[in-house]
Structure 1
Amino acid sequence: MEEQSIQVELSTAKKEKPQTDQLEFGRTFTDHMFVMDYSVTDGWHNAKILPYQPISVDPAAMIFHYGQSVFEGLKAFRTPSGEVQLFRPRKNFERMNKSNERLVIPPIDEDFVLQALKKLIEIDQDWVPDTEGTSLYIRPFVFATEPFLGVAPSHQYKFMIILSPVGSYYKEGINPVKIAVEDTYVRAVKGGTGEAKTGGNYASSLIAQEVVSKKGYTQVLWLDGVEKKYIEEVGSMNVFFKIDGEVVTPKLNGSILAGVTRDSVIQLLKHWDVPVVERRIGMQELADAHEAGLLEEAFGSGTAAVISPIGALGWNGKEYTINGGKTGEISKRIYDTITGIQYGKLEDPLNWVEPITSKAKVNQ
């Protein structure tokens, strides 16, 4: 994409900001958004920061009919000194282009959209909360806009970034959850779209969540879509197990999303010289490890929660309690370290932090 400028139109009607103790995830949005269009003739163009507003899309837009879209999720954090910073944003835009490739969507210029994101946050920096555990959630997404009812890649797209201040994920402290192993529905299969961050993956997962929630479980543990034996993800998170001193996570196989937090956990464990391996792991192996007293911890990893400890697994009519249903030592250490780096309270030995602004937060 040729170098282009970003037009800015500032809002003349600023919204009232909610109290930080009343923030819900994904319910409140900032004053501005970033928008950029794509056409075959002009490529990505018409980059703008505009007041947050509804968008007009043709009813025949291909996104509604064939689901050609991808999205990302990351956060901006307020440090104790009032600065605002991002956590590994380049990994998110790199992954977005991998998703784009799978969905036959034109690639974005990763450097340009990161520049646009920083500019957008600078404009809306008053929306970055400063209460412990809070942050500014960032949702970049792209979708097909060409009005056409033929099954083919669209020739027109829209790329957008919207921002949402969010409260602490763990308002009452980090607590383990109960997970049900899913043996009826599958999330994805190799060769499908499991390794892309596209809406269809999430839509197809909802029914399993509905079923297990009625049984008292928080989420599902997904098995592979072919043999239904091998562990893949937990809910919409990657998953880790500590077995006999070694941390194990399912190897990326074409149906598992390459989580940025997943990669961060792996790098951090290696930095600490904690044994960590990516490999195929079966549910029977996990059950056997539990019976032998070797299954020490289990946890999910993702942007929203960072780390979500697993206190129990329900499988084949039996419930396996892990670490006495309590948060494990490794889970807690990873959570404290990653969040400490994100909020600028700990050193950043692996150079993950990307500064946005050094300006102190404006009083609201």
Structure 2
Amino acid sequence: MFLKTFGWSLAITVLALAIALVYGGWSAVIITAILGVLEISLSFDNAVVNARILERMNPFWQKMFLTVGIVIAVFGMRVLFPLLIVGVTASLNPVEAVQLALEKGPIDEPGTYAYLLHEAHPQIAAFGGMFLLMIFLDFMFEERDILWLRWLERPLLFIGKLPMVNVIVALVLLAVAGTTAGDHQSTVLVAGIAGLVTYFLVTGLGGLFDVDDPEDDGNSFESTGEMVAEANRISNKRRVGNVAGKAAFLLFLYLEVIDASFSFDGVIGAFAITADPIIIALGLGLIGALFVRSLTVFLVRQGTLDEFEYLDHGAHWAIGALAAILLVTITTEVNEVVTGLIGVVFILAAFISSVVRNKRKAGEHEPADDHAAVAS
């Protein structure tokens, strides 16, 4: 199972490191490996959230996620997106943006590719932060049977009964981020609103196309967001891979936007390590993004999320922490190590809690089973 799922990731990793060696020597190999590890550590929570959605799709759309999706992730977000940002910021055409990128100027030198991308960080962070924040708030305010951090999640469930409370909280936090952004105030507010609009647009496509899942026993969902929430609540009662057609396509779009939002911090943070776009594409894209997708498929095929029930919670708390960090980085630098480790900590804590929960449940059932056996 491991080699079947991660075989291509391992092969591409060897190929990417070989290309880095030919391109820039052993120093390039080391930097590429560091970027790959950085991307994987930043994206554990992404893999868990993706897996919960991907398990609802049929095998065709799961393959689409690993093929078309990886092309979008590698070339779209790790290569084309930074070029687009720099091109718009500096009013450059695509050819000029590529030429500027290949000059590999340092991040602290005005006019370089890395400098221009770093200067665009406030609006990128506002967009990604608000999108991820809505994912976190929707999960925490959604009524569900299983709670992890009860002392936090129970009050959030109570607050979630208020109508539109997720939008209210998001707008308040955006207003705070905007008013503290100094010269970037207007761009931060516009980018944050764009993040909210994108979230509602993507999650509302289900209602626009009147998407139904034929396996849901007549239940229909007014938005892709509701479909995802329902999947979170009852996925352990459904067989894997029962969504196809328009429903799967919309969930695929939702997955890609989530992946893009998760990649913002990694792309920006990579330029603090190297300004070479080739090395960044090799480390973040070919190694990091592909491993994250393989990890997502592994979680689906192994049924890990159903076996360890708190992983969903840990992933969404990590999403909330990442959203908060993105909003904070609009005005304050945050070390990439902190950004990467916080997601790992939440996922690891949720995993340990799940193991403890499973052992406790097994212990509760064993005496009853023994008693029944004796009685019979």
TM-score when normalising by structure 1: 0.25
TM-score when normalising by structure 2: 0.24
Q: Which has the higher helix share?
A: 2
| Greater relative CO, 1 or 2 (CA 8 Å, sep 6+) | 2
